Structure 1
Amino acid sequence: MIRAAFLLALMATAVPAQEAAEAARAAARQIEAASAQLDRASSARDRVAALTETVRAYEAGLGAMRGGLRDAAIRETELSRKLAAQDGEVAQLLGVLQGIGSAAAPQTLLHPAGPVGTARAGMLVAAVTPGLAEQAERLRADLEEVTTLRRLQQDAVSTLQDGLRGVQEARTELSQALADRIDLPRRFTEDPVRTAILIAATETLEGFASGLSEIAVDGVDDSDPLPPIDSRKGALALPVAGQLLRRAGEADAAGVTRPGILLATRPRALVTSPTAATVRYAGPLLDYGIVTIIEPQADLLFVFAGLDTAFGTAGEVLAEGAPIGLMGGTDPDIGEIRSPERERGGTQRSETLYIEVRQGDAPVDPLTWFASDKG
């Protein structure tokens, strides 16, 4: 797996933006720690945990690089436009500076007003020259910054390619480690007939979640119950890095309102369990794509709809931070990542994850459980 080269280049590439640079350094440390954890992993469960951290670290690192490159591209555009608008002024400045620099001493004595005019002209030049020099220095600094920014973006191409290969390889290894895992705790065995009947009778996601909570589950192992999470209400991490598109109860473009929230995510983003929980359902449902429903505690369900790949099966007990699945789409190419226009337009967050929370038989606003900087 590609790690070392990406670690070093990651920290150097995000220089233009302070926040992005710090995020890149944090991601580099996270990748290094995950790599060490992976080297120590002795079981399938350990490998899953280490690879999960590796994928998340690569995603954070690529996100930091996108931020740094976006700021670099925006700054380069601003400077280029500024310099283009000053073409006439720059040409005039260069002409004046060249005239001053090439003036010979005998020529300065030929001032039409004689010695007094020559003295006055000399004083005028002496007064103007510092301002001209200061203006020339500002232009030189702007040109050097443009050159640095262009070189930065050119050098970032190989780093981005390494990062994309790294996260793709980590996802593949994670999927294999999940397939090899056999020691995951299980609270019950799903009754496929009851589940199939419920799916056939379901017309809405809300109806399925409500019906699922009423299905009697045989053979439940409550010898080691999950700890309650009421004390963590409002502080749970969102299951995927993304932007809040729509709050609970907000109408979509068609005027439809739903009780959950909608997050915009990057393609192939990893979705993880925000807390230890039992998987109640994982699979396709209606037109929501792949749906995973987990139960952190009795009478509480977290519904995640819109996945492309789901990990785990009903009855399994997930640890906090365990992978739930992957979003759909394909990783963008280098040109798309480097484009500030595409980033501002939101086209790099092309996937959406719908999150619904149900307590008892009623939906509640997910942001009462999950921490969000948009809340």
Structure 2
Amino acid sequence: MKQAIIPKKLNLSRSIAMLSPADIDYEESMCTLRYAARVKYIKNCVKINVEEKGLIEGFELEIAELQQKLMELSMSEQKREQKRKERAVSAEEKERQKQTALELEKTEKMKAELEEKMALIQKKILVGGENLLEKAQQQVFFLESSAAELESLDKSHQQLEEQLNKKAAEKIDVEEQYSSLQEEDLGLTKKIKKVQAFIKDAKEEHSDKEREYQRDLEALFDNNRLLVRETQLANLIIDSYIPQEYLKKILTHLIWNNETQEYQMRGVAYTGNNMRKQQNTSAEIFTPVKFEMKQVYHKYPEKKREKRSMIKSFSAIPKSQIPVPIKKRNLRSVTSSMSKYWALNRNQEIKE
């Protein structure tokens, strides 16, 4: 970083530190972070060595001038030699030859002096075993290469900025899509909650109806069992104590009452104790008898219910308490035992 050469006053450099989230690479990542922290505070300022460059240019100019002088001297020597060959040897020529010899000596001395100067200049250029010309050329090459690298870095930086802008735009689009998806998710969750609440209510209603149906079914089964038991008991009583002739007469005189929803004997209100009660009341009050059929028929179901409850209570008697089978006893004994048992149960219910 410190040896970076850039043709600017301030060296602006960028460093990228690669880190790893693994526990194994913890020390290495810490070292990279420390290095990046140190690099951040490094500031390089490039200083162009103008004095050395001026000296080198001056030396180059002197060398070029000396080379020109040598070339001129060599050219003058060749011309003089040609003139000497052409001219005849004479005293004047001898003198001239002497002069030329002296001039040659002078020129050789000048040449030697120039060569010495060139050697001294080359020694001055070579400092510390390094050629300053080559070093200057290298520096120029490095400057040109660094400028090219800077241009390429600027281009790559621009490309990276464009990519970052594209990524930012894509990120904004993704965030908008994500927000719309979140809104859809919220709406779907609300709908799911509503549907779940409806399903829960429907399940509860279904379970309630199922329980009601089960209770109704159990009640129907119980009622069916009671009816079967009553029918079996009625059939047993009919088969045991009612002759077939009277049974046929009873069946012929049965009618269905729509109000009470029961079978009734035709003209039962005008038979037996019903007629006696009406006659007694008429004798005491001394008023003409008025038969109200509806009252009699309204009271009739209560008697039927009492008889039915009596039959149920009799059917609930355990067999151990019945001393003699029903078939071996006559109708009077059976009815008397039934009435006694029913009266006892009725008194207990009234006391309670």
Give TM class, smaller chain: under 0.3
Higher helix share: 2
Higher relative contact order (CA 8 A, sep 6+): 1
Length-normalised TM-score, structure 1: 0.25
TM (normalized to structure 2)? Answer: 0.26
Q: Which has the higher strand share?
A: 1
